[in-house]
Amino acid sequence: MADSVKRKSLLQYSMEGGVWLGIYLIIRFACMVMGLYSAVANLLALALFVGTPFVLYRIMMVYHRNNSYISFFSLLWMMGIMLFFFASLICSVAEYIFYQYINPDYVTELFDHAFTLIKESEVLSDAISLEDMRTALGEGAAPTPLQMVMQSIWSNVFFGSLLSMIVAPFVLRKRKKAS
């Protein structure tokens, strides 16, 4: 009877952890967006970016603690990939709302800042025609909100896959030392 307690699957833990990681990514995105206007927000976004492995480690440890039979690297790696996928889905809603409704000119502002930096540095001004780039941007070459969101989802999942590959052995090693 005592063994009849149903354990959550890897998918269920990934979805639950993905909610928390998604909230973390939304906060990181908000700080990144505000970093264009504030140096403090930019530093906070950088700190949150650097803190992502620790958040992932914590979420993986909770799963690993509750499922002591997990001893395979690949299961934790797969969990990390799924965590970032579900978190990216949650974060993509906030990103789409921002790009579409809150500040539709944000991407254009980013390009303008980049053009200003390129022009001031004069390093690439010979190889790249800034006027042609500005003309193309004015003609609608900037990515759409949906393209920005899709790019964000793919980059989060790719980054999460690599990060999970790095963090998973530490979770397994911590568990073996505790045993």
- pLDDT band at residue 1, thresholds of 50, 70 and 90? very low
Q: What is the mean pLDDT of residues 158-177?
A: 85
pTM of the predicted protein model: 0.84
Residue 128 backbone dihedrals phi, psi, to 5 degrees? -120, 130
Q: pLDDT of 38-71, one tens digit each? A: 999 999 999 999 999 999 999 998 887 777 666 6
Cα distances from 22 to residues 9, 17, 41, 94, in angstroms, run 19, 8, 19, 10
Residues 96 and 89: their CA atoms lie apart, in Å, by 11
Q: What is the mean pLDDT of residues 4-9?
A: 72
Q: pLDDT of 12-29, one tens digit each? A: 999 999 999 999 999 999
Q: pLDDT of 70-129, one tens digit each? A: 667 788 899 999 999 999 999 999 999 999 999 998 888 888 887 777 777 766 655 567
Structure tokens of 149? 């969101």
